[in-house]
Amino acid sequence: MTATPLPEHPDFLWRTPEPRSSYDVVIVGAGGHGLATAYYLARNHGITNVAVLEKGWLAGGNMARNTTIIRSNYLWDESAAIYEHALGLWERLPEELDYDFLFSQRGVLNLAHTLQDVREGVRRVGANRLNGVDAQWLEPDEVAKVCPILNVSPRTRYPVLGATFQPRAGIAKHDHVAWALARRADEMGVDLIQGCEVTGFLKDGDRVVGVETSRGRILAGRVGLAAAGHSSVLAERAGVRLPVQSHPLQALVSELHEPVHPTVVMSNHVHVYVSQAHKGELVMGAGVDAYNGYGQRGSFHVIERQMAAAVELFPVFARAHVLRTWGGIVDVTPDASPIIGTTPVENLYVNCGWGTGGFKATPAAGWTFAHTIATGEPHPLNAPFALERFTTGALIDEHGAAAVAH
Amino acid sequence: MLLISCPWCGPRDETEYHYGGQAHVPYPGNPADLTDEEWAAYVFYRDNPKGPFAERWMHGTGCRRWFNVLRDTVSYEVLAAYRLDEPRPELPGRADVHQPAEPAGGNR
């Protein structure tokens, strides 16, 4: 019997180079943020002698584990500015990267279930509009028009009293975003090196001059950390303490369904957020587990509560089956805002503390972090997000607009 | 779900408890003398180890008392639970374990 020959393997989107002995810039972490940083280092600053080191596989950490929601309806000026910059970049990236990563601006509803939720939501809509972010306040009947499967009956335990709505928000296919960025960064000369764990830092006094890795020593003019949940573990090896705590955050998908859910729905109060992926899965998340953890799995009781909330809000989901659950590790700061900037160690830069909200910020995190690494100075958009704010007290408290309990 | 032994009530499900973050973080003995950096360290900076971690839990649906738990943040194994007036237990045979420089004790 003659076996049919297998088809040729498709071309890979990026090379798999051996690490060189030195680079101008080494980025630690080949997730969305690390890849976007490398892309903008090359595109905006002409710095292409760059390596992105990844201990696992490209975009296999939180990038592969998030719920893909993109929005910019944050409360404070500093946050609105950086997340809205990200949304503007998202709107042009598919064309710029020549890769259809299924960015779908289907809008996001943030539901209000209490009088205080209503007041917070109306306030946030006002703040958003002053900052040029599209935002509307919707009454329950208007909410039902945007999302007809949502139960807006007043006879539920936590009735929907209204919602904020950002029409330009949406979802994108997370894996494709990473691959699109990786392909372009690679084309411009960036080395993407997988299976290469950073185990230590080479220092000359208070200056970092390279990294120790599982694949040998690599010298670097500048080093940028973009390691999400492991940022504090990594920074500690460089002698830098970060005010972050790592927590498991889990998500799940249902089996495939016909298109039933036209937008993204988030609820802080009963705590679930749901969208429907292009393929048909319902993608759902809830808050972080209360305790610190690195185990990349979450607690069952969190799923139980989020499902109870989902079924009350969407009675049509009552017979949906869970197909798969997973967890990521998020690094949470005391004010639920990220840290992007310099560190007490010269030439060492950090991008961390995005907590549960890093995916939506991917292009702006890369844009501003690349600027900071290239120039040694913060970009106006990330200057407020410096590590120093925990000493000066100029916190950017986004616990409300972060939309996820953490 | 974690199974945690309250020192007063015995083993109960995690959902009966409230998590309170890192244990053994004493209030500064000389608060009037602290610099902004030292206040920042006390208010905002906590350990975030990959491995055994001493943390506070409160038995919310039981005796409502606070106590300490030594828990592995990778395996989620609960290694010990002990009262606030007890020192952090030693972990025999775990020489690899990072022990904090601060002595166990101050819980106020």
Query: Is residue B97 a part of any domain in this protein?
Result: no
CB contact under 8 A, B48 and A390: no
CA angle A71, A72, A76 (to 5 degrees): 150
Is the CB of residue A343 less than 8 Å from the CB of residue A203? no
Q: Chain B closest CA to A391's CA: distance in Å?
A: 5
CB contact under 8 A, A292 and B40: no
Q: A110 — contact with chain B (CB < 8 Å)?
A: no
In the predicted structure, residue A382 carries a pLDDT above the cut 80: yes
Query: Is residue B3 a part of any domain in this protein?
Result: yes
Question: What is the pLDDT of chain A when averaged over all its residues?
Answer: 96
Question: Which of B48, B71, B78 is best to mutate for the A interface (most A CBs within 10 A)?
Answer: B48
Mean pLDDT for the stretch of residues A97-103: 95
Q: Chain A closest CA to B68's CA: distance in Å?
A: 13
- Please state, as a whole number, how many other Cβ atoms lie within 10 Å of the Cβ of residue A376: 12
Mean pLDDT for the stretch of residues A369-397: 97
Query: Is residue B81 a part of any domain in this protein?
Result: yes
Residue of chain B whose Cα is closest to the Cα of A395: B44
Contacts of A243 in chain B (CB under 8 A): 40, 44-46
Contacts of A295 in chain B (CB under 8 A): 73-76
| B41 Cβ neighbours under 8 A, 6+ residues apart | none
Sheet-wide strand order for B52-58: B18-22, B52-58, B66-72, B78-82
Contacts made by residues A270-273, CB under 8 angstroms, sequence distance 24+: A270/A111, A270/A113, A270/A158, A270/A309, A270/A312, A270/A313, A271/A305, A271/A306, A271/A309, A271/A405, A272/A306, A272/A307, A272/A309, A272/A310, A272/A313, A273/A67, A273/A69, A273/A403, A273/A404
Amino acid at B14: E
CB contact under 8 A, A299 and B36: no
* High-pLDDT (> 90) share of chain A, %: 94
pLDDT digits (tens, 9 = 90+) for A27-63: 999 999 999 999 999 999 999 999 999 999 999 999 9
C-alpha span between A48 and B39 (Å, rounded): 41
C-alpha span between A103 and A184 (Å, rounded): 18
Pull the structure tokens for residue A312: 């009350």
Contacts of A352 in chain B (CB under 8 A): none
CB contact under 8 A, A299 and B73: no
Residue of chain B whose Cα is closest to the Cα of A305: B15
Q: Which of A206, A181, A168 is nearest to A83 (CA)?
A: A168
Burial class (CB in 10 A: 0-12, 13-18, 19+), B39: middle
Query: Is residue B33 a part of any domain in this protein?
Result: no
Q: What are the backbone dihedrals phi and psi of residue B104, each rounded to the nearest 5 degrees, phi first?
A: -65, 155
- Please state, as a whole number, how many other Cβ atoms lie within 10 Å of the Cβ of residue A222: 22
Query: Is residue B74 a part of any domain in this protein?
Result: yes
Instruction: Closest CB to B45: pick one of A233, A243, A294.
Output: A243
Q: Number of folded domains in chain B?
A: 1
Helix (H) / strand (E) element for A100: namely none
Query: Is residue B99 a part of any domain in this protein?
Result: no
Amino acid at A203: K
Query: Is residue B21 a part of any domain in this protein?
Result: yes
Is the CB of residue A94 less than 8 Å from the CB of residue A100? yes
Question: Which of A234, A237, A291 is best to mutate for the B interface (most B CBs within 10 A)?
Answer: A291
Confidence of residue A90 (pLDDT cuts 50, 70, 90): very high
Pull the structure tokens for residue A7: 């088809």
Confidence of residue A123 (pLDDT cuts 50, 70, 90): very high
CB contact under 8 A, B48 and A233: yes
Instruction: Closest CB to B46: pick one of A245, A301, A392.
Output: A245
CB contact under 8 A, B55 and A292: yes
Pull the structure tokens for residue A316: 């049509």
Contacts of B74 in chain A (CB under 8 A): 293-295
Which 3 state secondary structure label does DSSP give A162? strand
Tell me what pLDDT residue B102 has.
47
* Pairing outcome for strands A108-112 and A207-213: unpaired
C-alpha distance from residue A96 to each of A90, A99, A184 (Å): 10, 8, 10
Q: Which of A178, A166, A173, A150 is nearest to A104 (CA)?
A: A173
What ipTM goes with this model?
0.92
Residues 274-293 of A with CB under 8 A from B: 290-293
Mean pLDDT for the stretch of residues B64-70: 98
Domain range for B62 is 1-25+46-89
Tell me what pLDDT residue B94 has.
60
CB contact under 8 A, B45 and A233: no
CATH number of residue B83's parent domain: 3.30.2270.10
Q: Chain A closest CA to B77's CA: distance in Å?
A: 11
pLDDT digits (tens, 9 = 90+) for A261-298: 999 999 999 999 999 999 999 999 999 999 999 998 89
Residues 42-61 of A with CB under 8 A from B: none
Tell me what pLDDT residue B103 has.
43
pLDDT digits (tens, 9 = 90+) for A306-332: 999 999 999 999 999 999 999 999 999
DSSP annotation of A92 reads H
Instruction: Closest CB to A233: pick one of B14, B50, B53.
Output: B50
Instruction: Closest CB to B48: pick one of A232, A301, A390.
Output: A232
Strand partners, A250: A327
Kindly list the residues of chain B whose beta carbon comes within 8 Å of any beta carbon in chain A: 1-2, 14-15, 18-19, 21, 36-37, 39-40, 43-46, 48, 50, 53, 55, 71, 73-76
Contacts of B76 in chain A (CB under 8 A): 293, 295
Contacts of B50 in chain A (CB under 8 A): 230, 233, 294
Is the CB of residue A105 less than 8 Å from the CB of residue A275? no
Query: Is residue B78 a part of any domain in this protein?
Result: yes
CB contact under 8 A, A294 and B74: yes
